[in-house]
């Protein structure tokens, strides 16, 4: 086997280190993203449980209580409510309320520091990932 050029050997070793570092960084980012995603899902599930309980207890009004009862009895689903397949008056009112409140909810989310921070972090992670893959 011919003797390798020391510069070539050094470049190859440097390339291997950079690749290993990039892979390690990607694994770390992926683990962090998985943790954040799991945390988000847990928080989302908790909010949903709280909303369902409030609806069942009538805290969100009679229409929401009736709609939740129908969901609990498997007479409808949120998918049917939102798609318009469920034409029951409680579903129609829920769709109307959601449509009316959606712009307000979006505006509130854009002003929520946690939402803004999460969005910025996600964008930064996306940039880092793209740079790692390109570089």
Domain-located, residue 9: no
Domain-located, residue 39: no
Q: Which two tokens stand for residue 101?
A: 């409140």
**Cα dihedral value 119, 125, 126, 129, nearest 10:** 180
**Distance, CA of 99 to CA of 92 (rounded, Å):** 11
pLDDT band per the 50, 70, 90 thresholds, residue 82: very high
Burial of 86 (0-12, 13-18, 19+ CB in 10 A): buried
pLDDT reading at 8 higher than 60: yes
Query: Taking residues 20-49, what's their average pLDDT?
Result: 90
**Distance, CA of 123 to CA of 1 (rounded, Å):** 49
Nearest partner of 35 among 135, 118, 134, judged by Cα = 118
The answer to whether the pTM exceeds 0.75 is no
Domain-located, residue 33: no
Domain-located, residue 82: yes
Domain-located, residue 12: no
Domain-located, residue 123: yes
**3-state SS record for 44-86:** HHHHHHHHHHHHHCCCCCHHHHHHHHHHHCCCCCHHHHHHCCC
- How many domains is the chain partitioned into structurally? 1
Q: What's the domain range around 85?
A: 46-134
**Distance, CA of 49 to CA of 44 (rounded, Å):** 9
pLDDT band per the 50, 70, 90 thresholds, residue 135: low
pLDDT reading at 132 higher than 60: yes
């Amino acid at each position: 086997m011919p003797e390798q050029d020391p510069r070539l050997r050094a470049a190859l070793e440097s390339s291997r280190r950079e690749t290993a570092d990039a892979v390690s960084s990607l694994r770390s980012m992926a683990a962090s993203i998985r943790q954040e995603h799991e945390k988000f899902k847990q928080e989302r599930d908790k909010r949903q449980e709280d909303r369902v309980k409030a609806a069942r207890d009538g805290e969100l009004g009679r229409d929401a209580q009736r709609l939740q009862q129908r969901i609990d009895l498997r007479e409808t689903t949120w998918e049917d409510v939102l798609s318009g397949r469920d034409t029951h008056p409680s579903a129609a009112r829920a769709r109307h309320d959601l449509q009316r409140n959606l712009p307000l909810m979006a505006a509130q989310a854009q002003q929520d520091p946690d939402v803004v921070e999460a969005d910025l972090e996600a964008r930064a992670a996306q940039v880092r990932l793209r740079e790692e893959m390109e570089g």
